Structure 1
Amino acid sequence: MKQKIVHEQILQQKMNKSLIQAINVLQFSSLELIEYIKQLSKDNPLIEEVNFDYEFANYKKNYSDQVSYEEINERKLSMYDQLKEQLYTLKIAKDMKPIVYFGIDSLADTGYLDISLEEWAKRCHTSMEKVEQSLQLIQSLEPAGIGARTLSECILLQLRNNGNDEAYLQDLLENHLELIAEENIAAIAEQYDINEEKAVHLVNMIKGCHPKPGQLMNEPVAEFVIPEASISKEGGEWIIAFYKWSKPTITIDKSYKELNRLGQEAESYLKEKTLQVDWLHHVLSYRSNTVERVIKIIVEKQTLFFEHGYYMLQPLTLQKLANELHVHVSTVSRALRNKYVQTKYGVIPLKFFLQSGIKQQNGKPIAAFVVKKLIHELVEHENKQKPLSDEAIKTKLQDEFGINIARRTVMKYREQLGIPSSMKRKQRR
């Protein structure tokens, strides 16, 4: 019986490692995926051909000069700016705002809090109670894990955000993190009186958490962009056609089967490389299926954009997308990373379709991007001798586009776009 348990545990550990590798491959852009498979094929003689090179070369030849769809010259928002933008959706007492802002500015690039609560309270001349409330507000922002003080707390925040709130989780993460690192399923199950199946599920959930959530908000931009799929309308329906490089097929050299005749060593080598090919098929399938599901939901939620353009973009958050797909937020974030789609408007990053929303004064939600785009255009075409004030922009948005927002929101978005005030924009004749 003991031998069986050990065998199952080793098998489960291998499965867990396979899952982690599959999650890593999910993050790859198409270019990274191509390079990854090419490197594997150099070390695995069973891989005879990877069928995407011709189509990839063709695409580069035809689209290398294509300009990607730009977000109206909007400056890239830092992690700190993105977090502060989310605060506009929360009700925060006026006296709490500067304390919360200070806390956000005190985060490291990784998303961890880089200051003690005592120092925070001292610097803001406030009580520990208000600092703790401010920390809770920051830790409620996306992505989950932001504002953590330790790795254990970071993972715990992500697990709780995903509905896992068992009483023993905190003790496991704070006092027995080594059991997770070792994937010691039997010890975890015994320590907390749970069955091994639940322990395995728990370890998988923990392994799926991002250890540095701030990095999700500061991703590098790809130098050369190739899309995962093209989106076009045919017969009144939106069709998603995936390129071969996003779903590559691998041809196996069958002549290597004859190695079996050369002895046990050759047979062992062949078995190892065959398992690697099987694993590669598995992770490629996981990546393509996940990305395909994400793109399908995006097309469904942003159909008006594909029909009519950026003016019809809808608010859509990472959490909402994760809820639709019934997966963890970190999985969606990885699936979106450096991935693009070809549309009639050009090549667009998938992350572009995740738009923060604001409630208009009439209660209707609207994508913040749409408002920023219109503000940009109104300023672009204004009379330079009589530039539009924030109040005048607010009125034009209401009268010409039916967008009803406050003047302070106009000012906030104008500043985010790097547009000076009307006084500074005024040109003398």
Structure 2
Amino acid sequence: MAQRLEVSQTQRQTLKLTQSMQQSLLILQKNAVELDEYLKEQCDINPLLEVRSNFEKNEADFSRISNNTHFDLYTSLNEQIADRKLTARQQKILKKLVCNVDSNGYLHIDHGAFCSENELSTEELCRSISILQTMEPLGVGAESIRQCLLIQADADRKAPVKTSVLIKEHYHQFLNQDWSRLKIELSISQPELNTIINYLATLSLRPGNPDGEQVRQIVPDLIFSTFAGHSELRINVAGDFQLAFDDSSVKGMNEQIDQATLAYISRGKRDVRELQDALVQRRETLLSLGEQIVKRQFDYLCGKQDYVDRFTMTELANKLHIDVSTVSRGLAGKYIRTDHGIIALTNLCSGRTAELNEVTLGHVEQLVRQIVDDEDKHHPLSDAKIQARLAAEGNAVSRRLVTKIRSKLGIKSSTRRKTT
């Protein structure tokens, strides 16, 4: 069989990203915490790079959030504060107390110093702490494990008789497992004591972190605030970085610098410029994305409505005339701080590109009913967890709306739904 050699020519269009373009995309995808780590690594690689930021200085202002996306303690507490009929002063005090609650839900303050700093009386502080301790999840705001257990037991009508008395008056005997003395002091039988002990084992020692997840700190990239009828969206200065070329090591050199050193300095300057350009582009992209999201979700962010409007990444990309992958990178892992709490940008702009049904109250009511019907009756879901379940199914609503729906449906709170 004869063999033939043929030569053919085809034309194919490909897109190759330059190193600077790749770096810009990488930087856009990082949130403020990740960007801080990345820039520190770049400083190690390029000694001529100097990073200036307020990242460390504003550490006390960072907002904390659990790695577990199903529960956000700090947003939940702030929403509950907003829901209560409190004076502006009471709300202000409670929000400051929330800032001193650790990831497990415990309050850590020096009462005297806190009163002095905030011009409070001891009685006013105690009243505020008492209000905090009535919030969900029960046990939050406690200043000790003992108090945490007592808060939960006092709120539970089905708690075994004398459980609260044991915690209040005989806690140390309980810790020392002095069962004989406990039976005498409480005038109860061994089976009754066993019932109390088994009940205490069901209470949470970490009410703020019910699933035992590690808690990390985040820095919202955007801040949206309203005041006196005006609104403002801005980049969070705590996560905004400024770069400079550090030539201090070069200044001391002799004017006669060899070519290799000159080339090294030139590359260092070029790398700094490229990083600067990437940071500027990241800042502009985040603001553009944020402006469109705030425009669409304005009523939700201002607390005027309890659900987010339908808004897909594709719609957002079309409005800004950019690729949807750029939108995805820009929103991933980013948060916006509002007057009503901290919200993930992805919760305000769905990643779905298919047809979505608009969130309606009737639909959400059905979902809430179904979630409660399917829950573990021994470990019922709090309103914050129901909210998270709804969000996971693409129905982003506020915890406040969940509470209203639950009350409308005649569903009791999680503590009253619990069965032993």
Give TM-score scaled by structure 1 length: 0.45
Structure whose CA Rg is larger? 2
